[in-house]
Amino acid sequence: APANLIAASSNNIETTPPPPPADPSSVVAAIRSCSSHESSVRRPAEEQLQQWENAYSGRTLHATGYLTSLISIVERSDSVDENTNCRLLAAILLKNGIPKAFGVPLSEEEASSTNEERSLRQERAHVRNRLPALLFQEENATCALHLQLALSNIALFDFPKEWPTLLEDLVSTAGATSGQSLVVRVRAIKTLRLCIQSIRHRKIIVPKGPAKRGANNNNNNPMLNMRNLGNLIGKAVHERKEVHARACSIFEALAEGIVNHAQTAIAGDGSGGGSCVVGSSEAHSAWQAECLLAVGYTKCMTELIPMIEIENTLADPRTPAVRRLMESLARICEATRSYPAVSVPPALANIPSVVQEYTMKMDKTHRAALVCCISSIRTLPQLFAPQVSRILPAVVDPILTSDTSVLQSMPVKRLIYMTGLVRAVLTCAMYDETRRNSLMAGKANAVLSMLMGGAGGRSGGDADGDGRSAKDDPGVVEARTTVTALLAEGTVERLVEALVGKFLRLHSEELQEWEDDPEGRYETDLAEKMPLTEADGISPRHCGGALLMTLMSRETDRVARSLLELTQRVYQQLPPEDVNGMLSREACYRALELCRAAMVGGGQRRLNFSEWFQGELHPILMRTDLGENSPVAMRAMQARAVQVVQAYCASLKPDEFGVAFQSIARLMATPDLVTAFCSARCVSQLALLHVKGTEESVQLVSVREHSVLALGNAFALANRSESEECLRVVLMCVSALVEVNGLYLEPVLQAIAEQLPSLWERARDSVPIHSCLLSVLNHLIMKMGYSTVENSHVQTVLFPLLDYCTDISVVNRAETLLEDGLRLWLVTLVSSRLTTMGPSLRNMLPRLEAILRSGLEPHLSLKVLQFNAILLGPQVVEPLALVLRDMLLNLTNCIHSEQAGGGDTAMDDDDRSKGTDRGVTTTRDAVAALSFADGLMQMFPDLGLSICSPAISKVMAVLPGKSIAAPLVDASFHSFGRMLWMSPNCLDEIFANDPNQDEKIASVVSTYISVVTSISVMVMLSAQAQKVVFIDQKGAALSLCLAVCRSPRVARVAGQSILEFTRRLLELEAKSKIDLNALVEATSGTTRKVVGDGPLGDSAARTAEILKSDPLLTVSLKDACGNAEKAMTSML
């Protein structure tokens, strides 16, 4: 798809020197070097090309002529292979460079433009002038595709302001019957579609004014931003409407092209207006081009229709033309609906093998028209309404009447669009008789209308709009009548039966696949459980299931009753061992699985699952005698029964749950691999379903009772698995069983560990398998503690796996496995004993240093470093002091940096804090940095203070008057409290040069006290949490009291509030009678949350030792308060 990018904001881009001139010879040399196998040659060339591309969007604009050089390279007509590749790469680079070069804002007036801006404006004009000619002259199809995308990228930024005739020019080229080749015309219509698509998905650009240093930054004030919200939205919507209206100027030409080219394509007329002899190769080629143009024009209209905004169908002059288009689309659908028996026109009768080609061309035309109809129903339902009575029966009739083999022979996309149109009609409120009165409310958003200055809710809903008129519009009334007839008694039942029997039922090719490639069959079945959308349907079953669920949501009770009656009828009327009967039952079970939410959800039980389980499903699950020679239909029904139980598992009664878990655990050993993999997936879900804290439910006991059997069968199934996806499913089952059992599996730990080395050998370079092994080991170690870490078989896998997953020198390793690898590393540290694991842990330190230096996953890498330091001492941290100091400054940059304004921002652009892009400071990483600083200063005060104080000081310096996220505030003050204890005069130093020093110190102290005294409801309900809060409050009081004693300024501006806070805390301490051991237990308990219920390693004891020696826990609060009072008295 065309790039939909805006120029990168220059807020965080440092000023860089200008790149060298991008003359054609230099660019060609760089492009050729990029194809080198030598990294020493390739990487500098890639960096140079990137520098030229980024020169347009930096803080300082540099118009290097890069795009002009790329245009000149593409213009070369050399046929040498090397030059062809160079031209192709130049076209790709041109496509990728246009968003940055065309997205940067320029001065509105020529007089105020800089030389660089004028040069860029000229370069843009040159690209616009040359690109269309290059596109239509290009002989290489791949190069032409990238030029098409480049042109659509320009449309994103320059239409209509800089290039108002772009769309008209492309339509004119596509419609030129003389002077243009058919190839050029087809290419023009395809380019037009990309341009319309790009324009339709354009983001709303919101200009931001430049922020001035020293000025109040109002960007963080939501109330000030809300004052401009009305103007902002109104202007943006108005601009978008203008763009859409300008784009719709080609509507008439597109509509005419659809009719003309579709008629010619259907009639088989390739004579070109008499210039070609009927039946000749020229006529054949001309007809093929007409078919391509018919499809291309229709696809363009599909993109354009959502931009046709008609608020008043009675008064809008475009209404008659749009209605004519809708009628033409319906006629095209009717004319091309026959499949596969099509009548070849006489004009094509003499062409060899024309029947298959004509069938294919008409199918593509039919599909394009269907998609255009779907778009019309969704955006212009009132105008399309008169065609519903024609097109809906034309689509539904083949579903009801066609033979199963005919439907199966249809292209999947055709079935997707057929069922998609029915779904669009059924979900359209305007065509729903039960919701006809809702049209009175209008379709406009009342809030949006008000912000734009209109009367809320009146647009489209008043007497002159299309809301009231739509209610009584003859076309809408006719459409509602058609839909009502479709949902009439008997028709819905026939449709449900057709969907189950023709779409959901396994056909002969799938049964053969079940025999020949069971793992492939399982993966296909798994893929069919993906979200059911028209965009990525993979089989008839996919779109049939989607339509069934749409029917279920529309007529829930009737469709549910129809499904249950159909299932009962199939079960009772067909012999149990009949192959057709078993396949029909499997299809019915699949339908009930898809519709589970309607059957047992929403507070209504339309299906008695307990009765169904005991009567039908359980007997099927108990059959362990099915082998490879058993009927595949029977095995398919058993696999479906397993998946039905998985879908309805929450409806199982406690006694039924145990029976179901045991039966399905046994089926993991069945010879039929599809059933075995379905069982493994079901066991995973059943195992974790009733894990709720420390509660021991009946279901959980049942799981643990049969887990050894399930694990044995799972490992055996893993050895039978060949595909990556199937092995992943089995390993996730193992992981779930380990997680739910924990220490209950300790007697079989050795047997589990012995299975891991062979799985590690099979993993090779598979990311999913490595992820699953990480999960298995994580749960093994979390649940069983150091006994797992010290197992020799586990170590055979554990440390090689950690080494593999954290090797960031391998391409893409950091993006795929590093985070999970660090989590396993952390769990290993917490569960290790130094006497046995010390050397292995020390051997991993160089890898940790490399990760820290790269700045990857700091929220985990800093935690891993912290636990290494707890176990191994300060020598782990000392060599990294400079790295850590810079790292903490970078990670907290989002708090203490002064962000520069300027540039444009997309309203629908995601906030940076929502992503985890490398190099971008996030809230999560900043919190991790501050938490690490607190822990480091607690473990090694002097070393920690030297590393952490620069970052903490910068953070505290900007906190007064700055609005930041609550987690950042809490983490900032926790680390600051520790620093204040070790450096009581730090507040004087932080604000030494600030003219408002007293006010800011008072603000920091007041905010600090407010933060530590704010208690949530959850804390009030937990005695353990209250102890942790008291620890934080005591630490704050001790640090602040010491600051009062050492800093006269702090005593003067905030001493009284500090004393009041400390006295209140003293009263609480006296009432609670909390001793040191209770505080240590409460604090060190946070480390136990990392591991779960297994025995911890040495880190727990060492953490307790650190806490017992922590002055912020051990120093007397009463003495600190007394010393602060003396300091205050001495000042009087």
Rounded distance between C-alpha atoms, residue 755 and residue 824, angstroms: 19
Scanning the structure block, which residue is given the tokens 């409806």?
651
For helices 818-830 and 1098-1108, angle between their N-to-C axes, nearest 10 degrees: 70
The pairing of beta strand 205-207 with beta strand 904-906:
antiparallel
Angle at 614 between CA 609 and CA 618, to 5 degrees: 105
Contact (CB, 8 A) for 613 and 645: yes
Rounded distance between C-alpha atoms, residue 88 and residue 82, angstroms: 10
Rounded distance between C-alpha atoms, residue 174 and residue 77, angstroms: 24
Rounded distance between C-alpha atoms, residue 1079 and residue 824, angstroms: 29
Distance spanning both ends of the chain, measured CA to CA:
75
**CA dist 659 → 492, 647, 690, 696 (Å):** 37, 16, 15, 18
Residue 406 CA to its chain's centroid (Å): 37
What single letter denotes the amino acid at residue 563?
Answer: L
Rounded distance between C-alpha atoms, residue 524 and residue 522, angstroms: 5
Rounded distance between C-alpha atoms, residue 1071 and residue 131, angstroms: 81
Bridge partner residues of 30 (DSSP): none
Contact (CB, 8 A) for 496 and 559: yes
Cis status of the peptide bond prior to 160, with omega within 30 of 0? yes
Rounded distance between C-alpha atoms, residue 723 and residue 726, angstroms: 5
**What is the 3-state composition of the chain as percent helix, strand, coil, each rounded to the nearest 5?**
75, 0, 25
Scanning the structure block, which residue is given the tokens 């900007």?
958
What single letter denotes the amino acid at residue 814?
Answer: A
Quick one: pLDDT at residue 1?
35
Helix (H, G, I), strand (E, B) or coil at 904: strand
Task: List the structure tokens of 375.
Answer: 């778009």
Task: List the structure tokens of 1058.
Answer: 């500090």
**CA dist 1108 → 151, 468, 965, 1082 (Å):** 68, 76, 32, 12
Alpha carbons within 13 angstroms on the beta-carbon side of residue 615 total 9
Rounded distance between C-alpha atoms, residue 233 and residue 219, angstroms: 17
Point out the residues of the chain with pLDDT beneath 70: 1-17, 58-60, 77-82, 110-112, 204-230, 270-279, 437-469, 530-539, 693-694, 897-921, 1016-1025, 1073-1094, 1132
* Averaged pLDDT of the chain: 84
Count of Cβ atoms closer than 10 Å to residue 1090 Cβ: 17
Segment holding 168, helix H or strand E: helix 166-175
Quick one: pLDDT at residue 655?
92
Quick one: pLDDT at residue 11?
35
Quick one: pLDDT at residue 783?
85
Rounded distance between C-alpha atoms, residue 630 and residue 636, angstroms: 11
Quick one: pLDDT at residue 322?
95
Rounded distance between C-alpha atoms, residue 991 and residue 584, angstroms: 79
Rounded distance between C-alpha atoms, residue 888 and residue 872, angstroms: 22
Bridge partner residues of 206 (DSSP): 905
Rounded distance between C-alpha atoms, residue 867 and residue 366, angstroms: 64
Q: Which residues of 845-875 are buried (b: 16+ CB within 10 A; e: fewer)?
A: bebbbebbeebbbbbbbbbbbbbbbbbbeee
Contact (CB, 8 A) for 649 and 689: yes
- Sequential DSSP letters for 953-1022: HHHHHH-TT----HHHHHHHHHHHHHHHHH-TTHHHHHTTT-TTHHHHHHHHHHHHHHHHH---HHHHT-
Task: List the structure tokens of 160.
Answer: 């209509």
The residue among 142, 49, 159 whose CA lies nearest residue 102 is 159
What single letter denotes the amino acid at residue 196?
Answer: I
- Rg (alpha carbons) of the chain, rounded to whole number: 35
The residue among 595, 416, 388 whose CA lies nearest residue 485 is 388
Task: List the structure tokens of 172.
Answer: 């004119």
Bridge partner residues of 906 (DSSP): 205
Quick one: pLDDT at residue 1087?
42
Task: List the structure tokens of 531.
Answer: 């979200």
Contact (CB, 8 A) for 794 and 786: no
Task: List the structure tokens of 56.
Answer: 């347009």
Q: Is 181 left (phi over 0), alpha (psi -120 to 50) or beta?
A: beta
